[in-house]
Amino acid sequence: MNDRTFLPLNLAVLTVSDSRGEEQDTSGHFLKHAAETAGHRVVAKNIIRDDIYQLRAVYSRWIADAAVHVIISSGGTGITGRDCTPEAVKPLLDKEIAGFGELFRQVSLTEIGTSTVQSRAFGGVANGTFIFCLPGSPGACRTAWEQILLPQLDNRTRPCNFAQLIPRLLEH
Q: Residue range 158-168: average pLDDT?
A: 96
Contact 90, 101 (CB under 8 A): no
Instruction: Reduce the DSSP state of residue 29 to 3 states and report it.
Output: helix
pLDDT tens across 89-124, in order? Answer: 999 999 999 999 999 999 999 999 999 999 999 999
Collapsing DSSP states into helix, strand and coil, what is residue 52?
helix
**pTM for the predicted model, two decimal places:** 0.95
* Structure-derived torsion over alpha carbons of residues 64, 133, 45, 56, reported in degrees to the nearest 10: 50
Task: Read off the amino acid at residue 40.
Answer: H
Q: 166: Cβ–Cβ under 8 A, 6 or more apart, which residues?
A: 9, 69, 128, 130
- Domain limits, the chain: 10-168
> What are the DSSP E strand ranges found in 17-160?
41-48, 70-74, 95-96, 122-126, 129-134
Contact 100, 132 (CB under 8 A): yes
Distances (CA, A) of 40 to 65, 69, 148, 163: 17, 10, 15, 11
119 three-state secondary structure? coil
In the predicted model, what is the mean pLDDT of the chain?
Answer: 95
Q: What is the mean pLDDT of residues 20-27?
A: 82
Instruction: Report whether CATH 3.40.190.10 matches the domain 10-168.
Output: no
Band of residue 23 on the pLDDT scale cut at 50, 70, 90: confident
**Residues 5 and 31: beta-carbon distance below 8 Å:** no
